[in-house]
Structure 1
Amino acid sequence: MPIDPARATAAAPRTDRLAWDHKDVILYHLGIGAGVPATDPGELRYVLESRLHVLPSFATVAGGSMAMAGGLATPGIDVDLSAVLHGGQTVTLHRPLPVTSAPGTTRTSRVAAVYDKGKAAVIALRADVADDDGPLWSSVSDIYVKGEGGFGGDRGPSAARLDVPATPPDATADRAIRPDQALLYRLSGDWNPLHADPDFAKVAGFDRPILHGLCSYGIVLKAVVDTLLDGDVTRVRSYTTRFTGVVFPGETLRIRMWHGTPGTERGPGRIQVTATAVERDDAPVLADTVVTVAEPI
């Protein structure tokens, strides 16, 4: 069997050095659609080195190689990339991300669990990043592998599902996806041909390349920061989502936001978000999406 859960979860954690600078941060921000309009002061904070701040979702690509890619190379895991989809992502910030990494920045990643979902397996990858001053962020990536379930393993915890609030959203933002968005975003380190090669996309069951899930993830967080947090990236404490559908380059994302959702724990601040594809009758793209922030909204 391509996945050996016992071997994968018992494998020693993988530690590697991470390095990035302002060019990597700017490229990532451009890859998620920043810089439009080009003279907007709010956009220049994402693309001009003299004003630069770092969107927390940059953690998913920092260093130019993803923990997800390293996790799929763990002993006990041998899967076909055409069967792999990103199921969910969580990033927890321990402090604001620097524009340039410190020399001692390291990432420790491991396979935390492998779950048997019947027709598929879900690989939970955990990564922790720190520098000489202490922890920077932690992340968990849930990787869905079609056709690899049915091995009699643990189904795993039932993921919490969030009902869409019955009240109108506190804010709505539409974000147009450029036709070449996936080609630009992949330069930040996700080279999966599913997002660029039409022939590979057809093998995976799509009539054309799809946008990276983590690109949508970044686009949505930027919309939340710009719309509800006055552009202050340092207020974000954590960001979690479940990927429920694909986005095709050239489409439009509609992002709806509710803050302090009734019936939930408000904590230091909580924003519930949905994202849908406008041109496909608001087909769901992200669900069970929550951004927690440092102070009440």
Structure 2
Amino acid sequence: MNAGQWKGRDLGTRTVAYEDRDAILYALAVGAQATDLELVFEERLRVLPTFALTRAQWAPDALGSAGAFDPTTAVHGSQRLKVHKPLPRAGELELAARVGEVWDKGSAAIFEVVVESEYFEAVWSLFAPGCGGFGGDRGPSARKRPDGAPDTTLTVPTSPNQAALYRLLGDRHHMHIDPEAAKAAGMPRPFMHGLCTLATVTLPLAAELGAHPADLTELEGRFSAPVFPGDTLTVSTWKDGEAVLFEAAVDDTVVLSGGRALFAS
């Protein structure tokens, strides 16, 4: 079957459980400090909304395992998240997954994997080389960088241990920890998970806006280039009504583009 025939395919449902320690470990893995008590202390805990993405990682993996694309060459292109209500400190999530749109980029296809629950809706966009050319719609263009100088510029360091911590939350692909696996994937050394980089940026964004990072209600971003543990990100931001648009770079290389975040007021 061609890539377009996967559109609408049911990927099943799953009940996933977690404890408060998982949410705390996640917060530490995306940059929370020991002084951020509402993120790292169980008595005051507010769960970061992006933690939900670690519980739903099985869904895009399931599409690759089903044969829609070659998991060794497909890459995570972008991510969207819409929050319906706060995650509990611990408990179970009922998740339902399906294939949303499948876009035809000619030499490649983009598969959208949609995961829904009462707490959130998330969309993975997976870029699959060699799966295009089936006569489908090319899909929308990526969000362009805003005109004009940024309203603010933030400096966001990453930790040398960050990828090692983040993979304990469920995404244990070897390329994020094993130098040989990273080289096989075309990288000079292990690199950060895209979702880790994206979530890491939301904490300083919230601080800049005077918001709590657990009050995130919408998030999106495109993964433009790899980030390596220990890199320092330069994050440019532009106000867009109640939301903030952002782009992150390491030196002169853009690593996150088309970013947008919204926090509840």
TM over 0.5: yes
Q: Is 2:80 aligned against 1:79? A: no
The answer on whether the counterparts of 2:83 and 2:218 sit within 8 Å (CA) in structure 1 is yes
Shift of 1:162: 2.5
Amino acid at match of 2:101: A
Superposition TM-score, scaled by structure 1 size: 0.82
Structure 2, gaps ≥5 residues long? none
Q: Deviations over 1:230-275 (max 9, x none)?
A: 32522x221111111110111111222222x3xxxx3xx1111111
1: distance between equivalents of 2:133 and 2:142? 24
Q: What aligned pairs does 1:85-124 form with structure 2 within 5 A after superposition?
A: 85-102=75-92, 105-124=93-112
1: distance between equivalents of 2:134 and 2:15? 36
2: distance between equivalents of 1:85 and 1:99? 31
The answer on whether the counterparts of 2:246 and 2:257 sit within 8 Å (CA) in structure 1 is yes
1: distance between equivalents of 2:79 and 2:39? 22
Amino acid at match of 2:28: L
Amino acid at match of 1:292: L
Shift of 1:159: 2.4
Q: Is 2:166 aligned against 1:178? A: no
User: SS at the partner of 1:99?
Assistant: coil
2: distance between equivalents of 1:61 and 1:45? 20
1: distance between equivalents of 2:8 and 2:156? 42
Q: Specify the alignment match of 2:40 in structure 1.
A: 47
Shift of 1:95: 1.1
Structure 1, gaps ≥5 residues long? 130-134
Q: What aligned pairs does 1:138-153 form with structure 2 within 5 A after superposition?
A: 138-146=121-129, 148-153=130-135
2: distance between equivalents of 1:108 and 1:4? 24
| Matched residue count | 265
Amino acid at match of 2:98: R
Q: Deviations over 1:207-230 (max 9, x none)?
A: 112110000011011221222133
**Aligned pair partner of 1:194 in 132, 155, 175:** 175
Specify which structure has the higher proportion of strand: 2
Superposition TM-score, scaled by structure 2 size: 0.91
Q: Specify the alignment match of 2:256 in structure 1.
A: 286
Q: Specify the alignment match of 2:113 in structure 1.
A: 125
Once superposed, what is the RMSD of the aligned Cα atoms? 2.0
Q: Specify the alignment match of 1:132 in structure 2.
A: none
Q: Is 2:211 aligned against 1:275? A: no
1: distance between equivalents of 2:89 and 2:179? 35
2: distance between equivalents of 1:163 and 1:178? 27
Q: Specify the alignment match of 2:235 in structure 1.
A: 255
1: distance between equivalents of 2:83 and 2:214? 11
% identical equivalent positions: 31
- 148-157 or 206-215, which moves further after superposition? 148-157
Shift of 1:10: 5.0
Shift of 1:155: 4.1
